[in-house]
C-alpha cells in the first residue's frame, strides 16, 4: 500500500476530538493523529481575526509536545502520532485496542474509570509475585526524603502494586486512611509555591505553572519533577487526590498530548499575551520603527540579565511582517516549553512510568483536573452572592434569564457544576475563602460575572476565562438556556474552544 494512503485518517473520530478546530482521529496504521477540521455549527475562527492573516494563522496553528529521553519540543499537531492500543509491559500483547478506547471515551466519567482501572490491573503480570503489596516505612520528619528514596528506585511492576504506608513510631494499620494522608502531605510539600519550583499562572493563585527559574531554588529539580510525575500518575491509578494541584490548563494538555495553541499563553501572562497580539495589528513601518524587536527574549534571573536567542543568530534578525508569525510561534514554544523543558520532561516521563500515554486518551483536559484534584465543594449560595451582572443584565440580577441560570446550576450534579466553573474560570478550583476571592488572569479579584447580550449576536453562551465572565444571551425559555448551556459545557469538556 502506498505510504501516503497509510497515513490517511480513517473515519473514526473521538467524541471529544474537536479542539480549536482540531480533531483526534485514527489513521490506517491504528495510531491516533490530530487533524484539522471545520465545525460548521459554531465556526472556528475567532471574532475579529478574519481580516488579519497573521493573527488568524497564529490561532489556527496547533502543536503537540514531543517527549524524548533528553529533550522535549513542540511539533505541528498533524505530525504527532500516538499508539492507538495499550500494550502489556511483560508480554507486549495488546490490552486495549483503539476500538475499545473509542467505545469508552464517550461514556460518563464514572464508567470511564471502571474501564481504566480494569486495564491498569492487567498492565503487569503479578501472578509470579509473592506479594501484591509494597510496604513503605516513612519518618514523618523526613516524609519527602524517605518517599523520594523509595519511589524513585521502584521498577514499573512496583509502581503498579498497592502501596501500604507506615509512619515510624506511630501505631496504626493502613486501611486507606494513612495512604490518603501521605498523598495529601507529599503533594502539599511538592506543590508549595514557597519551594521556588512553582508560581501562580498569570496571577491566578489557582493556576500553578513551573517556575521558569526553578534551578535557582532546586538543585535536584530533575529528581524532584520525576518523583512528582510518578506521584501524580499513582494518584490517578489509585483514585487518590493531589492537594493544591490545579495547574495552568496547558500542563494538562501536555500530559494528555492535546494541541497547544497560542491562546495558552494567556493563562500564563495575560498582559504579555495581549502585547504580542498587538504586534499582529501593526503595519510594517510601526513594527520596525516602534517595536524594534529581534529574535531574542530578555530574562532577569535574580538580577542577572540574560539575552536568549529564539533561534540561532536571532540577535541579528529583526522582526518584520514577513517573519512575525515565526517569531510569535517561537515565543510560544519558548514560554511554554523551552525555558522549563527539563522539569517538564521529567514530570511527563514520571507520569508515563505509571500510566501508559495511550491509556490517557479516554480522558479530556477537564476530567484530568477533576480526577487529580477532586470535585470542588461548590457553595451555590456563595457563588450566586458573589456574582456581578453586566451588559443587558446590569442592575437587573433578577432578570428571568439570570434566575433561570441559577435554577439550572442548582439542578446540576457536582460534576456538571465543576465543568461549568472550569468553562468560565479555566479551573475547577474554588479559593479557600470562597468566590469572593476569585481572581482573574491579572491577579486582581475578579468575581464571577454574567454579561447579558442579545440572542442575535450569539446563539450560545460564551466564556471569557481571563475575566471569569460568561456572556449569556437573552433566551426565550429556560429549556432553551439549559440546552445551550449544557451544549457548550460538553464542547469545552470535549475540547472545543468557543473563544
pLDDT at 20: 59
Task: State phi, psi for 121 to the nearest 5 degrees.
Answer: -65, -20
Question: Which is more confidently placed, 408 or 70?
Answer: 408
Q: Report residue 297's pLDDT band, with 50, 70 and 90 as the boundaries.
A: very high
| Distance set, CA 325 to CA 282, 289, 319, 352, 450 (Å) | 13, 18, 10, 33, 35
Kindly report the number of other CB atoms within 10 A of residue 317's CB atom: 18
Between residues 352 and 429, which one has the greater pLDDT?
Answer: 352
pLDDT at residue 70 is higher than 50: yes
Q: Tens of pLDDT along 74-125? A: 999 999 999 889 988 766 788 999 889 988 988 888 899 999 999 988 887 6
Nearest to 280 by CA among 62, 54, 61: 54
pLDDT for 206:
66
Structure-block grid coordinates of residue 121: 490491573
Complete domains list, the chain, with CATH: 3-81 (no CATH), 109-259+339-373 (3.90.1750.10), 270-326 (no CATH), 380-493 (3.30.2410.10)
Residues noted as catalytic? 466
Q: Write the pLDDT tens digit of every residue in 215-259.
A: 888 888 999 999 999 999 999 999 899 987 789 889 999 999 999
Q: Which of 331-335, 375-379, 414-418 reaches the highest mean pLDDT?
A: 331-335
Average pLDDT value for the chain = 85
β partners of residue 73: 66
Amino acid at each position: 500500500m502506498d505510504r501516503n494512503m497509510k497515513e490517511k485518517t480513517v473515519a473514526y473520530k473521538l467524541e471529544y476530538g474537536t479542539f480549536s478546530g482540531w480533531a483526534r482521529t485514527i489513521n490506517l496504521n491504528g495510531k491516533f493523529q490530530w487533524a484539522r477540521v471545520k465545525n460548521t455549527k459554531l465556526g472556528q475562527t475567532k471574532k475579529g481575526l478574519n481580516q488579519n492573516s497573521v493573527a488568524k494563522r497564529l490561532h489556527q496553528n496547533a502543536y503537540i509536545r514531543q517527549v524524548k529521553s533528553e529533550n522535549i519540543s513542540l511539533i505541528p499537531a498533524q505530525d504527532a502520532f500516538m499508539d492507538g492500543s495499550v500494550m502489556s509491559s511483560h508480554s507486549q500483547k495488546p490490552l486495549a485496542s483503539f476500538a475499545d478506547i473509542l467505545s469508552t471515551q464517550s461514556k460518563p466519567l464514572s464508567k470511564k474509570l471502571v474501564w481504566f482501572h480494569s486495564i491498569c490491573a492487567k498492565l503487569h503480570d503479578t501472578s509470579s509475585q509473592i506479594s501484591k503489596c509494597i510496604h513503605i516505612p516513612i519518618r514523618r520528619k523526613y516524609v519527602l526524603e524517605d518517599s523520594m528514596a523509595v519511589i524513585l528506585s521502584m521498577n514499573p511492576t512496583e509502581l503498579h502494586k498497592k502501596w501500604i504506608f507506615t509512619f515510624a513510631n506511630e501505631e496504626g494499620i493502613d486501611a486507606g486512611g494513612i495512604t490518603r494522608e501521605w498523598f495529601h502531605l507529599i503533594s502539599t510539600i511538592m506543590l508549595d509555591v514557597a519551594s521556588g519550583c512553582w508560581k501562580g499562572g498569570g496571577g491566578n493563585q489557582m493556576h500553578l505553572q513551573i517556575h521558569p527559574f526553578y534551578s535557582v531554588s532546586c538543585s535536584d529539580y530533575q529528581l524532584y519533577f520525576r518523583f512528582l510525575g510518578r506521584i501524580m500518575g499513582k494518584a490517578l491509578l489509585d483514585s487518590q487526590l493531589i492537594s493544591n494541584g490545579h495547574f495552568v490548563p496547558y500542563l494538562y494538555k501536555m500530559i494528555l498530548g492535546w494541541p497547544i495553541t497560542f491562546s495558552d499563553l494567556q493563562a500564563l501572562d495575560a498582559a504579555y499575551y495581549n502585547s504580542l497580539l498587538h504586534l499582529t495589528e501593526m503595519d510594517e513601518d510601526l513594527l520596525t520603527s516602534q517595536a524594534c524587536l529581534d529574535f531574542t527574549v530578555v530574562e532577569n534571573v535574580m538580577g542577572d540579565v540574560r539575552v536568549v536567542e529564539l533561534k540561532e543568530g536571532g540577535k541579528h534578525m529583526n522582526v518584520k511582517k514577513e517573519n512575525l508569525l515565526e517569531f510569535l510561534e517561537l515565543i510560544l514554544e519558548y514560554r511554554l516549553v523551552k525555558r522549563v523543558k527539563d522539569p517538564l520532561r521529567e514530570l511527563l516521563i514520571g507520569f508515563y512510568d505509571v500510566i501508559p500515554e495511550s491509556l490517557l486518551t479516554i480522558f479530556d483536559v477537564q476530567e484530568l483536573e477533576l480526577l487529580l484534584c477532586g470535585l470542588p465543594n461548590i457553595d451555590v449560595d456563595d457563588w450566586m452572592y458573589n456574582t456581578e451582572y453586566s451588559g443587558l443584565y446590569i442592575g437587573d440580577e433578577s432578570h428571568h434569564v439570570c434566575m433561570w441560570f441559577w435554577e439550572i446550576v442548582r439542578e446540576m450534579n457536582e460534576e456538571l457544576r465543576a465543568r461549568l466553573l472550569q468553562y468560565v474560570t479555566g479551573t475547577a478550583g474554588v479559593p479557600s475563602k470562597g468566590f469572593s476571592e476569585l481572581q482573574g488572569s491579572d491577579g486582581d479579584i475578579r468575581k464571577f460575572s454574567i454579561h447579558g447580550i442579545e440572542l442575535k449576536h450569539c446563539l450560545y453562551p460564551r466564556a471569557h476565562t481571563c475575566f471569569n465572565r460568561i456572556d449569556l444571551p437573552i433566551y426565550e425559555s429556560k429549556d432553551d438556556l439549559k440546552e445551550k448551556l449544557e451544549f457548550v459545557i460538553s464542547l469545552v469538556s470535549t475540547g472545543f474552544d468557543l473563544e
